[in-house]
Amino acid sequence: MRLFHRFSAVLLGAAAASLIFTGCGASKSPGSEGASPAPADQASVPAAQVELTVSAAASLTDALKEIQKHYEAKNGQVKLKFNFGASGALQQQIEQGAPADLYLSASAENMKALVDKLYIDASQQTPLLRNELVVVVPADSTAGLTKPEDLRGDAVRHVAVGEPQTVPAGGYAKEALTKLALWDTLQPKIVQAKDVRQVLTYVESGNAEAGFVYKTDALTSGKIKLAFTVDPGTYTPIEYPAGIVKTTKHGEEAGDFFTYLQSKEAQDVFVRYGFSIPE
């Protein structure tokens, strides 16, 4: 009987030892001898790309597309999306809630309107560029235009002008022609366009014998030639302000691009396309 009890005690002890061993073994996982392997390196995952919408005057198209290449090459986390058009139309879009992070206008008046209506903070806008108003004709034109008064001649049947209410170039043209007492006289010949680039297209295609565009636009096309430069004393100085729209959801990135537009690197591009920098 004593032998049976002793044998039972031995069996119970062995079973207990086996459970302890099993429990210890189960609590260990592969690699538990040291620190647990770190999850995939989260720091190496690229940050989500930010898309900035820039509403810009149509006359800035070529210069901004070149600037886009330079900027995105250095700032891979930012994608620039441009909304080109007439400055007045872009102003109206912003007022109506269209998404925009920055606004680049061809008219200080349009920028002032957005500042006055609190869509852009006065401290987050600045004069960026200047331009000149010129008259262009088709490359093969023999009209011989040298001054605004020549637009009254029989050789000119159509004069392309941006819509004065929404296209700053059209507004400057109307201002100059009014001061020269030509606006009313030329009304039967005037063909209005939705933006300055459409004016250029009308002249390139021969649908207009002359058109009012910016100096920078005249430099972009081989299908037209410069007839004459409009006297700058006949219209308000052409300024291009830039500003950050208050509703932007990417304030830091918008601020960085706003600053870059004022850098020497960006300004050199603008100058190459015919713009001048305000003193």
Question: Is 202 annotated among the ligand-binding residues?
Answer: no
DSSP the chain: -HHHHHHHHHHHHHHHHHHHHHHHHHH--TTTTSSPPPPS-GGGSPPPPEEEEEEEEGGGHHHHHHHHHHHHHH-TTEEEEEEEE-HHHHHHHHHTT---SEEE-S-HHHHHHHHHTTSEEEEEEEEEEEE-EEEEEETT------SGGGGGSTT-S-EEEE-TTT-HHHHHHHHHHHHTT-HHHHGGGEEEESSHHHHHHHHHTTS-SEEEEEHHHHTT-SSEEEEEEPPGGGS--EEEEEEEETT-S-HHHHHHHHHHHTSHHHHHHHHHTT-B---
Whether 87 has a binding-site annotation, put simply, is yes
HSE-CB at 139 with a 13 A cutoff on CA atoms is 10
Q: Is 169 annotated as belonging to a binding site?
A: yes
Core vs surface per residue 17-55: b (16+ CB within 10 A) or e: eeeeeeeeeeeeeeeeeeeeeeeeeeeeeeeeebebbbb
Residue 59 marked as a ligand binder: yes
Q: Is 221 annotated as a binding residue?
A: no
Binding site, annotated residues:
59, 87, 169, 196, 214
Residue stretches of the annotated binding site for molybdate? 59, 87, 169, 196, 214
